[in-house]
Amino acid sequence: MVTATNKGSEATMGSIDAALKPRLRLRTRSEYAGWVLSILVGIGILVSVLTNPNFKWGVVAQYFTHESILRGLMLTIFLTLASMALGTLLGLGLAIMRSSHVKPVSIAAGIYITLFRGTPVLVQLIFWFNISALYPNLTIGIPFTDIGTAIDMNALMAPITAALVGLTLNEAAYMAEIIRGGFSSVGKGQIEAADSLGMSAGMRMRKVIIPQAMPSIIPATGNQVIGMFKGTSLVSVLGVAELLQSAQLIYARTYETIPLLIVASLWYLVMTLLLSYPQSKLEQKYSRTTSRLPRKAKKVVLTEPEGTLR
Amino acid sequence: MSNDGTILAQKIRKSFGPKTVLKDINLDIASGEICCIIGPSGSGKSTILRCINGLETVDSGVLKVNGEDFGYYETAHAYHAHSPKKLAEQRTRVGMVFQQFNLFPNMTALENVMSGPVLVKGADKKQSAKRAQELLASVGLAGFGDYYPAQLSGGQQQRVAIARSLAMDPEIMLFDEPTSALDPEKVGEVLAVMKDLAKKGMTMVVVTHEMGFAREVADSLIFMDDGYVVERGDAREVLSNPQEARTQAFLQQVL
**Higher pLDDT residue, B49 or A284?**
B49
* pLDDT exceeds cutoff 60 at A193: yes
- E strands, B78-236, are 79-81, 94-97, 172-176, 203-207, 220-225, 228-234
Most confident of A136-145, A230-239, B179-188: A230-239
Amino acid, res. B97: V
Q: Considering only CB atoms, which chain B residues are within 8 Å of A298?
A: 146-147
Q: Write down the pLDDT at residue B52.
A: 93
A211 contacts B106? CB cut-off 8 A: yes
B146 contacts A298? CB cut-off 8 A: yes
With residue B125 as reference, give the H or E element that holds it. Answer: helix B125-138
A306 contacts B148? CB cut-off 8 A: no
Q: Write down the pLDDT at residue A291.
A: 47
Q: Write down the pLDDT at residue B255.
A: 73
Q: Find the mean pLDDT for residues A254-270.
A: 93
Q: Write down the pLDDT at residue A54.
A: 85
* pLDDT exceeds cutoff 80 at A288: no
Q: Considering only CB atoms, which chain B residues are within 8 Å of A190?
A: 102, 104
**Higher pLDDT residue, A135 or A144?**
A135
**B161-179 per-residue burial string, b: 16 or more CB within 10 A, e: under 16:** bbbbbbbbebbbbbbbbbb
- In tens, the pLDDT along B104-130 reads 988 999 999 999 999 998 889 999 999
Q: Considering only CB atoms, which chain A residues are within 8 Å of B108?
A: 297
Amino acid, res. B98: F
* pLDDT exceeds cutoff 90 at A140: no
Q: Which residues of chain B have pLDDT under 70?
A: 1-3
CA B23 to centroid of chain Cα atoms: 21
* pLDDT exceeds cutoff 50 at A183: yes
**Burial environment of residue A41 by CB neighbours within 10 A (0 to 12, 13 to 18, 19 or more):** exposed
In the structure, what pLDDT confidence band is assigned to residue A301 with cuts at 50, 70 and 90? low
Q: Does B79 touch chain A (CB under 8 A)?
A: no
Within the 223-252 window of chain A, which residues sit less than 8 Å (CB to CB) from chain B?
none
H helices within A138-256, ranges in order? 145-151, 157-184, 188-196, 201-204, 210-231, 243-254
- In tens, the pLDDT along A58-103 reads 888 999 989 999 999 999 999 999 999 999 999 999 999 998 989 9
Amino acid, res. A259: P
3-state secondary structure at position B208: coil
Q: Find the mean pLDDT for residues A204-228.
A: 90
Q: Find the mean pLDDT for residues A226-239.
A: 92
* pLDDT exceeds cutoff 60 at A129: yes
Q: Does B159 touch chain A (CB under 8 A)?
A: no
Mean pLDDT is lowest, of A55-69, A127-141, A286-300, B173-187, for A286-300
Q: Write down the pLDDT at residue B103.
A: 93
Q: Which of A188, A196, A205, A304 to probe by mutation at the B interface, max B CB count within 10 Å?
A: A196
Nearest-Cα distance to chain B for A10, in Å, is 55
In the structure, what pLDDT confidence band is assigned to residue A145 with cuts at 50, 70 and 90? low
3-state secondary structure at position B54: coil
Among the partner residues A190, A211, A309, nearest to B102 by beta-carbon distance: A190
Beta bridge partners of B62: B10
In the structure, what pLDDT confidence band is assigned to residue A39 with cuts at 50, 70 and 90? very high
B147 contacts A310? CB cut-off 8 A: no
* pLDDT exceeds cutoff 60 at A146: no
Q: Does B53 touch chain A (CB under 8 A)?
A: yes
Q: Does B128 touch chain A (CB under 8 A)?
A: no
Q: Percent of chain A scored above 90 by pLDDT? A: 52
Among chain B residues, the shortest Cα distance to A308 is held by B152
In the structure, what pLDDT confidence band is assigned to residue A295 with cuts at 50, 70 and 90? low
3-state secondary structure at position A294: coil
Pair type for strands B7-16 and B60-65: antiparallel
* pLDDT exceeds cutoff 70 at A236: yes
* pLDDT exceeds cutoff 80 at A3: no
Nearest to B191 by CA among B16, B164, B182, B167: B182
Note if the pTM is more than 0.80: no
In the structure, what pLDDT confidence band is assigned to residue A299 with cuts at 50, 70 and 90? low
A192 contacts B152? CB cut-off 8 A: no
A 10 A CB-CB count for A213 gives 21
ipTM of the modeled complex = 0.88
